[in-house]
Structures are given as structure tokens and as C-alpha cells.
Chains A and B, each alone.
Chain A
Amino acid sequence: MSEPDETQPAFAHPSEKAFARILDYYGIEWQYEPDTFVLRQDSQGHTLEAFSPDFYLPQQDLYIELTTLRPKLIRHKNRKIRRMKELHPEINIKLFKRRNIRDMMIKYGIDEEARKIMDREAQ
């Protein structure tokens, strides 16, 4: 399982960090943006569009992409995922629309627990 220490990746968004904490809580092994998939190339083979799903869960063989609730962003990511499934049908990928995860983490003390671990390791 990935440990919340200085070796943690630099997450692009706080929601990704929160998601990683949940995976840690459940003991689910994860990797952050381990792979990039080419979605579009020009005639010379140069990459025009690529996609790096946020997480890969090796035990479930599942890629996870997180998104906020902004419709434009959801449409954009849905399009990328559709394209990726066309090109790589063998890949399992799931789009997570995050709703109130932060509130739920506070309710169950997961945020507090993760912060204590981080504080302890920083000493």
C-alpha cells in the first residue's frame, strides 16, 4: 500500500490527494498517473493528444479518472475515455464524479487520521 510520506506524488488537485487517502484507508494499492495513452497522432506519428488517467489500482486492474462536477470538464473527460476505450478495449477505466467526499471523510475521521499520520512522519 502506498504510504502518505514524502515519497507521495505531487498531486495536481486536492481531490486526488483526498482520493489517495481513501484508497490508503481501505488498504487498496494504487499508483498515480503511471501510464499515458496516445489518443491521436499526426501522419508523422507525433502525438497530438494523450491521456494519463489519475490512478491505477493494480489489484483491481482498474484505471481511475477523477473529475469535478463542472459539465464542461465532465464532457471533455468522457470524450477522452470513450476514445481510449475505442483504442484500448482491453483497458478497464472508470470516471469518478466526486460528490461530498470531503464531508464524508470528516464524518468518518479519515481526514483527521491521515493528517495525524502526516504530522507524525514529518517529525
Chain B
Amino acid sequence: MPAITLSRKLGSLGTEIARSLADSLGYRMMWREVINEAASRACAPEVALAVIDDLGLLGLRPSSKAQRAFLESVQQIVEQLAAEGNVVVVGRAGQIILRGYPGVLHVRITAPLALRVERIAARHSISAAAAKARVESSDQSRSTYVRRHYHVDWDDPKSYDLVINTEIIPVPVARDLITLTWEQRMQTPMTSSSLS
């Protein structure tokens, strides 16, 4: 089950790194697909919107029942993707769902807040204040998702095998670092700490 989970902060260039990594390894990159498929399986399509809406613009408040069904589906889909292998799973707390699974590498992409704000402002041609509001809201939303549903600190480096700060590490170097770590991991004898 070769799989890489990638957790990233808004403005960290994590999505770009995930895409470059998936292209270079010939893996699938799964991101929104997990959200939409999980919501569909849970028969709660509005939960997909609530999850995508990390700025809270739509004001959706899915029921606890719908959220539980969604989370169960997310878990099943992420485990299924890992079992199929050759995949980069972006977000959805993959580092927690697949913690301890053999043949899975957990990567975190981050960068200082000020730099992420600067990147978002430049990318979208918006004011620094609007960019800062977006970044902070996104951080809060993603952190809350992980803490509320999995009781884990999103920022805890112990949840990851490799943490990359893109302040001085550009996308291609980050991709190569992950690839090197990945190759090393694949050469290490796998342990079955969580799988039978």
C-alpha cells in the first residue's frame, strides 16, 4: 500500500507540492474527490459544501448525524485509497487515519504566517487584510476539524514523518526531499503495527 498523506496550510504551497509529487511519482492525487465521495456515500451532499467552505461563507451547519456519517465515509475512503496504493492523499486528516500503517509516509507543508498572507494576497490580487483574514480562517477551520473529530493537534509535528517549511525551500526541492524520504521508507522493512 504505497501512499503519501500530505497536510498543508493555506499559502504554504502544499497543493503545488502535492501535484508536483504525484506527477513525478506517477501517483494519483486525491483531494476534493475524497470530500465529494464521502458526502455522497453519507447521503449528505451539503456536508461536502460545509467542509469545502473553510471561510464559513455559506453558513452551513450540518447535523451531527450527517457529520458522523461523513467522517466514517472519509475514513473508509482514505483507507481504501491507501490499500489501492500509488496515491497522494491531500488533507482530510490522512496522517491520523493512516497513522501506523506500513508503507505510508506522512508529510506536513507549512510556512510562516506572514509569508503565507503575502502569497495569498499576491496570488489573488487582494489586500493584505483580506488575505490575512482568509489564512487565519482557513487555519482555524482545518485545525478545528482535526481537533474536534480526531482529538489531535493539527500542528503537532509528531503526527508527521517529514515537516517542510517552504520559506526557503522551493516546490521542486520540497518534492525531491519527499521523494528521497519516500524511497528510504520503501526500502525499510515494513512493520504491521496496525494492519492484520
- Give A95 to B52 CA distance when docked, in angstroms: 18
Give the one of A94, A109, A113 with max B CB within 10 A. Answer: A109
In the bound complex, do residue A62 and residue B57 qualify as a contact, i.e. CB atoms below 8 Å apart? Answer: no
In the complex, which of the residues A22, A92, A94, A108 contacts B130, with contact meaning CB atoms closer than 8 Å?
A108
Cβ of B55 < 8 Å from any Cβ of A? yes
Please report the number of residue pairs spanning A and B whose Cβ atoms sit closer than 8 angstroms: 64
Q: Which residues of A contact B52 (CB under 8 A)?
A: 26, 28
- Beta-carbon contacts of B36-56 to A below 8 Å, as 1s and 0s? 100110000110110011011
In the complex, which of the residues B46, B49, B124 contacts A109, with contact meaning CB atoms closer than 8 Å?
B124
Cβ of B188 < 8 Å from any Cβ of A? no
A contacts with B, residue count (CB < 8 A)? 24
Q: Which residues of B contact A44 (CB under 8 A)?
A: none
Nearest CB of chain B from residue A18's CB, rounded to whole Å:
9
Q: Which residues of B contact A7 (CB under 8 A)?
A: none
Query: Smallest CB-CB separation from B130: which chain A residue?
Result: A109
Cβ of A43 < 8 Å from any Cβ of B? no
Cβ of B133 < 8 Å from any Cβ of A? yes
In the complex, which of the residues B32, B40, B45, B55 contacts A108, with contact meaning CB atoms closer than 8 Å?
B55
Cβ of B83 < 8 Å from any Cβ of A? no
Cβ of A123 < 8 Å from any Cβ of B? no
Query: Smallest CB-CB separation from A21: which chain B residue?
Result: B57
Nearest CB of chain B from residue A98's CB, rounded to whole Å:
8
Q: Which residues of B contact A108 (CB under 8 A)?
A: 55, 57, 130, 133-134, 137
Cβ of A99 < 8 Å from any Cβ of B? yes
Cβ of B168 < 8 Å from any Cβ of A? no
Task: List residues of A (57-79) whose CB comes within 8 Å of B's CBs.
Answer: 57, 59-62
Q: Can you list 22 A-B contacts with CB-CB less than 8 angstroms, sorted by A residue number?
A: A22-B53, A22-B57, A28-B49, A57-B49, A60-B36, A60-B46, A61-B40, A61-B45, A62-B49, A92-B46, A94-B46, A101-B57, A101-B58, A104-B55, A104-B56, A108-B130, A108-B134, A109-B126, A109-B127, A109-B134, A110-B57, A113-B124
